[in-house]
Amino acid sequence: MGEVGNQEMDNLSSVIAQTDSVELGNVVSSDVPAKKLARQLDFTGIGGAVLPEHPHFQSRSRCQESESPAVIVVQSQSQPQSPQQVVVLPIGTKAPLPPARKPDSPKSRSRSNVETKDATPKKQKQCKLCNCKHSRCLKLYCECFASGVYCDGCNCTNCHNNVEHEASRREAVETTLERNPNAFRPKIANSPHGTRESRDEIGELVMLGKHNKGCHCKKSGCLKKYCECFQANILCSENCKCMDCKNFEGSEERQALFHGDHANNMAYIQQAANAAITGAIGTSGYACLPVSKKRKGPELGFGPVGKDSPLNSIPQLHQANDITCSGTPTSSPFPVAHVGSPVASGPSKFSFRSLLADLIQPHDLKELCSVLVVLTSEVAKIQAEQKSDEKQINDPPQISRASSSGDGVHHQKAEEKAADGECGSSNQSDRSVHDNSNSDSSDMTRAGQMSPGTLALMCDEQDTMFMGAGLADGSAAHDCNTSSHVPDKSLSDVYTEQERIVLTKFRDCLNKLITLGEIKETKLTSRSESEVGNQNQSNNFTSNSGCQQRSISNGVVKNVALLAPRIPPIGTAAHHPNNDLPLKILPVPKNRKTKSQIDREV
DNA sequence: GAGTTTGAAACT
DNA sequence: CAGTTTCAAACTC
């Protein structure tokens, strides 16, 4: 205990300082004193330096499930209402929880899973045990050593990665760092804890990140776990120097491998659904858009990713935080996969929010409904007055017969009612609607009997769909204010007035919503464009390899929202049904070749 | 479980 | 930096 290094405390401060200006809040579910807790933070993956780990905390079994991790409540200044919990594990804990401190080594992640032959993880092991024989567990061959943890209960032989050989271990650490200062850094930049299990949870949603060094596979096609990229559940990137790579978006082999995953292409299903919903207004209703899986272009929405990436520099704390679409530290409007553990944040969710989500308020609906009700009742009142006048002239009505009739053709009933002059109740409007809607006459046939208001609305739409053959030869088609074939003129007038007012009001309401949606879309689009502009400026495409540039030219890595064409609102002259695809889903070349493939061909 | 394959790490 | 060796995990039988 007495050997608490100032360096550790300094690193703790530095980590906290980097984590979105967080404040170290209260410690819950742990009786560990603050100083001791600070000691338990493992900074192995931070700053590229492996810090000495005190034996006091190493001597315990790290696989005891009863050992509950400490949890720090980290309260962000930017989001004081949403404190995040950061699970802090004792140094050397062998990943009992996904957000734990282990570096993002693909090996350490995937190999910690119990998997079946089809590479489907069934259950995550609490500990993973190495089997080193010749490395004394003091080289990066050893998974435990590479992860910065002591071997504990492993099947290794002649292990020096333990308390008893702390001196040699430190020496090995120094040697390793000397050779590669980033040796203990996460290999996967900007990657969530993409275990195979998590992929099962989220289907084939994008696993953001790429291998910092890239893989060098030759025979596995990068579709086996020999490949670190595949292990990490990420696509090969421009960093890779693999041959015959099949681990790219659109790869048939890769798709075949993942065939059968549930929630397959959930993102695109959601995308299509959203497109249908927002078709009338626009395209920016995506709070979180699915993005292309092949990330060989600039990291839209994340900024530069790499060893110097801020996200990468503090992997544990950041990844433990539940970064959601609505609360990303960067407040990016772009698609954001959860950069957190599956446990902490659950599967990635592309939550859709309609453009009208903030526009339609309950009182709006209330207002609309009340308007409709009031108008209907008023028209019904007028109708009743007219009917009462007519009653005095015509024969007494046979109300009981008409009203009690539960069968028969609706339009016959309507005609009978109209002929009988039965009406005068406030329910008349409902009956009218009901009769109209359930008439066995076709719409086109009935169009000849439409009220002037309805016809006016139809004329206003200027849509031939409604004004088609059925009206082409009819008088109504050429005279929107003409109502023909009406058995009872006065009743028809009431219906007409009723329809006209209600439909007109409803149309106005819809137009209002469309307008509001457009306004919001415009705002979102302009904001997205400006932020992407900033991103591109900061990225500056400086590190683009040829592969990356090719990806950009292929248009694979793009923000869907920015590509989506502006859709004119329904009802405008520019609107066309064929334009109702708000999202332009870019086709991914199926036979897209990797850099290595091209190199080989060359 | 033994043997083979594979690719990262280490070494030259 | 490239080639080779070592190593341990992944994979196959």
- Is residue A214 located within the same domain as residue A177? no
- CA distances (Å), origin A270, targets A263, A278, A289, A387, A447: 11, 12, 9, 52, 37
Does A111 contact strand B, using a CB cutoff of 7 Å? no
Does A185 contact strand B, using a CB cutoff of 7 Å? no
Q: How far is the CA of A258 from the C1' of B3 (A)?
A: 29
Residue A443 carries which side chain, given as an amino acid letter?
D
DSSP bridge partners of A27? A72
- Is residue A214 located within the same domain as residue A171? no
Listed in sequence order, the DSSP H helices in A67-210 are: 106-110, 143-147, 166-179, 196-202
Residue A14 has pLDDT above 50, yes or no: no
In this structure, what token pair is assigned to residue A105? 């080594």
Nucleotide with smallest C1' distance to residue A111 CA: C9
DSSP bridge partners of A28? A71
Does A215 contact strand B, using a CB cutoff of 7 Å? yes
CA A29 and chain centroid, separation: 32
- The owner of tokens 């446990």 is A343
The per-residue pLDDT for A16 is: 36
User: How far apart are alpha carbons A575 and A580 in whole angstroms?
Assistant: 8
Return the nearest residue to B11, CA–C1'. Answer: A179
**Among residues A135, A153, A185, which one ends one of the domains?**
A185
Domain that holds residue A227: 187-192+207-248
The per-residue pLDDT for A103 is: 37
First to last CA, chain A: 61
Q: Which of chain C's bases lie under 7 Å from a protein CB?
A: 6-12
Angle between helices A410-420 and A428-437 (to 10 degrees): 140
Does A187 contact strand B, using a CB cutoff of 7 Å? yes
Give the number of other Cβ atoms within 10 Å of residue A182's Cβ.
Answer: 13
The per-residue pLDDT for A289 is: 30
DSSP bridge partners of A17? none
Does A73 contact strand B, using a CB cutoff of 7 Å? no
Q: Is residue A468 part of a domain?
A: no
Q: Is residue A257 part of a domain?
A: no
Q: How far is the CA of A367 from the C1' of B3 (A)?
A: 77
Residue A92 carries which side chain, given as an amino acid letter?
G
Least confident of A135-144, A351-360, A463-472, A592-601: A463-472
Q: Is residue A138 part of a domain?
A: yes
Q: Is residue A179 part of a domain?
A: yes
Q: Is residue A146 part of a domain?
A: yes
Angle between helices A489-539 and A452-461 (to 10 degrees): 30
Q: How far is the CA of A427 from the C1' of C4 (A)?
A: 92
Domains of chain A: total: 2
> Is the distance from CB of A1 to CB of A19 less than 8 angstroms?
no
Q: Is residue A578 part of a domain?
A: no
* pTM exceeds cut of 0.85: no
Highest mean pLDDT among A254-258, A275-279, A287-291, A342-346: A254-258
Highest mean pLDDT among A215-224, A305-314, A565-574: A215-224
- Is residue A178 located within the same domain as residue A137? yes
Query: Which among A197, A228, A206, A242 has a CA at the least distance from the CA of A105?
Result: A228
The per-residue pLDDT for A139 is: 93
Q: How far is the CA of A129 from the C1' of C9 (A)?
A: 11
Strand C contacts (Cβ < 7 A) comprise A 107, 110-111, 115, 117, 119, 130-135, 137, 139, 141-143, 156, 224-226, 231
Q: How far is the CA of A315 from the C1' of C10 (A)?
A: 27
Three-class SS of residue A241? coil
Mean pLDDT to the nearest integer, A166-195: 78
Residue A303, phi-psi category: left (phi > 0), alpha (psi -120 to 50), beta (remainder): left
Q: Counting Cβ atoms within 10 Å, is residue A118 exposed (0-12), middle (13-18) or buried (19+)?
A: exposed
Does A134 contact strand B, using a CB cutoff of 7 Å? no
Residue A73 has pLDDT above 60, yes or no: no
The per-residue pLDDT for A251 is: 85
If residue A114 lies in a helix (H) or strand (E), which one and from where to where?
strand A113-115
Q: How far is the CA of A214 from the C1' of C1 (A)?
A: 17
pLDDT in tens, A472-526: 344 443 443 444 444 456 666 777 777 777 787 778 777 777 777 777 666 666 6
Residue A252 has pLDDT above 80, yes or no: yes
User: How far apart are alpha carbons A447 and A470 in whole angstroms?
Assistant: 7
Q: How far is the CA of A312 from the C1' of C1 (A)?
A: 28
In this structure, what token pair is assigned to residue A363? 């009182």
The per-residue pLDDT for A368 is: 66
pLDDT in tens, A482-494: 444 444 566 667 7
Query: Which among A224, A196, A233 has a CA at the least distance from the CA of A342?
Result: A196
Q: How far is the CA of A112 from the C1' of C8 (A)?
A: 15
> Which residues have a Cβ under 8 Å from the Cβ of A540 and sit 6 or more positions away?
none
Residue A87 has pLDDT above 80, yes or no: no
Does A218 contact strand B, using a CB cutoff of 7 Å? yes
Residue A257 has pLDDT above 60, yes or no: yes
Q: Is residue A137 part of a domain?
A: yes
pLDDT in tens, A550-578: 333 333 333 333 333 333 333 333 333 33
Q: Is residue A240 part of a domain?
A: yes
Q: Which of chain B's bases lie under 7 Å from a protein CB?
A: 5-11
Question: In the structure, what pLDDT confidence band is assigned to residue A385 with cuts at 50, 70 and 90?
Answer: confident
Nucleotide with smallest C1' distance to residue A107 CA: C9
Does A241 contact strand B, using a CB cutoff of 7 Å? no
